[in-house]
Amino acid sequence: MAIAALRSALIVDSVPEQGAVIKTYFDELGFDVDTVTDHPRAFEFLANNGYELAVVEMTGGKVCDFELLQYITRNLIKTAAIATAEQTNSTLGPKALEKGARSFLVKPFALEDLSRCVRHAIESQKHAEEAERLARLRQQERRDRQIVGSSPAIRSVLDLIGSLADSPYTTVLIKGESGTGKDLVANAIHDATFGDHGPFNSLNCAAIPAELIESELFGYEKGAVTGTFQSKRGIVELTDGGTLFLDEIAELPLGLQPKLLRFLDEKCYRRVGGGSEMKVSLRVIAATNRNIEKLVDSGSFRRDLYFRLSGFPITLPPLRERRQDVKDLARFLVDRCARRYGKKSLALAPSLEDLLASYPWPGNIRELKNVLERAVIISEDETIDVHHIQFDASLTRAFTRPNPADELSLPLDRPFFKEIAYYEKELIERAIKQSDGVKSSAARLLGISRYAFDRLIKRVDKLTGENVAC
């Protein structure tokens, strides 16, 4: 790795002549170099400049030396530190490395030794930066897939997830309608049990041709599958020590079910075309949105496999049964989408929150996410409102007459989108009345731009067949 990748360095040395020698070395390579003889002042230089490298002298008997190294390690992820010391203080090396120095040099040293240490420090720092980046990415991924809600139904699910943390090999069956977040629960179980210490792999049993599922699961030996010229590890082997998530388990071919049952019982398997048995340790989580008990009764799913999978069942409630979670979920999803698309934080209008809480969400969380993602993309305002929302007509037709127990605030005695338009018309007219007919003020009341306000009026006029009273 070329040292010339550096751009700036700070030299902290109590002996000006020694600091000058090191500075000359970096100057000849074309770097911007600052030198400091006073360790406390080095904090100020480090805080105000983006150094790639700091060469810090350990003077012995000064706690400030180690505090400086700790400051660099904890606060300056892009700065690599090299510690130096006189021969009389050479015993400080191990502690300097413990506090975060990438290398340690005893003075006097040859410039070749300094060059070697600089290269090592840069390489180590880049590895540290990459590790930090991946750690932040994992943390963000965990935040993005967190389970949001405080309803009794979702608290019960979270309690079950917590209870699995100390049972790393218990098989789990997650049941629930499409879009209820079965994959989120599977990930949460894995995080609670293994964290970063084991792989999480998933296989969608409905997305792979029936004749290929076995080789995807268990792998195959060279020549066992037509057109293959080398062996391949299956997803089971790749998941050793972690969690295997089998989504849409009800679609697993009937002929493969006995092999999966044997694997669940013994955690042993053979690759396709292989003779030797292989053993792994992992947790299997299966999921389905179908009535698997009916499939068992009809003979299309093995009863013994069903009982083996359902040793620890978790049933996820549909979103319409946890309405009190919708507003929190909506805010969470909007924040996540805004961050993903590089937009500033967006607020949800109270009228929209009420609408989202009243809607039955036949597509569950997946539908809520898609509806809000579209709203974030098209929004030109700081607030997402009712006019930014578009529901899937094919889903809403079946829900235009919801159960009275759901306590909808809208009568819904008209087609759904027309009902929404009348609701918007009422809001517009109230805003105009409160603004004494000044449309720009009415738009501000609704939290939208004047241009968006005019577009909203045109759309409402068209859908209702009536003109907004201005």
Question: DSSP string spanning 149-215?
Answer: --SHHHHHHHHHHHHTTT-TT--EEEE--TTS-HHHHHHHHHHHHTTTSS-EEEEETTSS-HHHHHH
Neighbours of 328 (CB within 10 A): 13
Cα gap 193→56, rounded to integer Å? 42
Can you give the pLDDT at residue 62? 60
- Domains of the chain (ranges, CATH numbers): 3-140 (3.40.50.2300), 152-317 (3.40.50.300), 320-464 (1.10.8.60)
- Three-class SS string for 55-107? EEECCCCCHHHHHHHHHHHHHCCCCEEEEEEEHHHHHHHHHHHHCCCCEEEEE
The torsion of the CA quartet 239, 245, 248, 251, rounded to 10 degrees, works out to: 30
Cα 233–237–241 angle (5° rounding)? 150
State the DSSP string of 314-349: EEPPPGGG-GGGHHHHHHHHHHHHHHHTTPPP-EE-
Give the residues of the chain that fall short of pLDDT 70. 1-6, 61-63, 140, 225-229, 392-416
Token duo for residue 73: 């390690």
Q: 406: exposed, middle or buried (C-beta count within 10 Å: 0-12, 13-18, 19+)?
A: middle
Whether the bond between 108 and the residue before it is cis, its omega within 30 degrees of 0, is yes
Cα gap 89→104, rounded to integer Å? 11
Q: Is 245 helix (H, G, I), strand (E, B) or coil?
A: strand
The model's pTM? 0.62
Can you give the pLDDT at residue 63? 59
H helices then E strands: how many in the chain?
A: 19, 16
Token duo for residue 271: 């690759």
Contact 224, 271 (CB under 8 A): yes
Q: 87: which residues sit within 8 A by CB, 6+ positions away?
A: 106, 107
Share of the chain above pLDDT 70, in %: 91
**Nearest residue to 442 via CA among 434, 454, 380, 352:** 434
Q: Is 32 helix (H, G, I), strand (E, B) or coil?
A: strand
Contact 380, 449 (CB under 8 A): yes
Token duo for residue 217: 């699961």
Can you give the pLDDT at residue 227? 64
Can you give the pLDDT at residue 405? 41
In one letter, which amino acid is 62? K
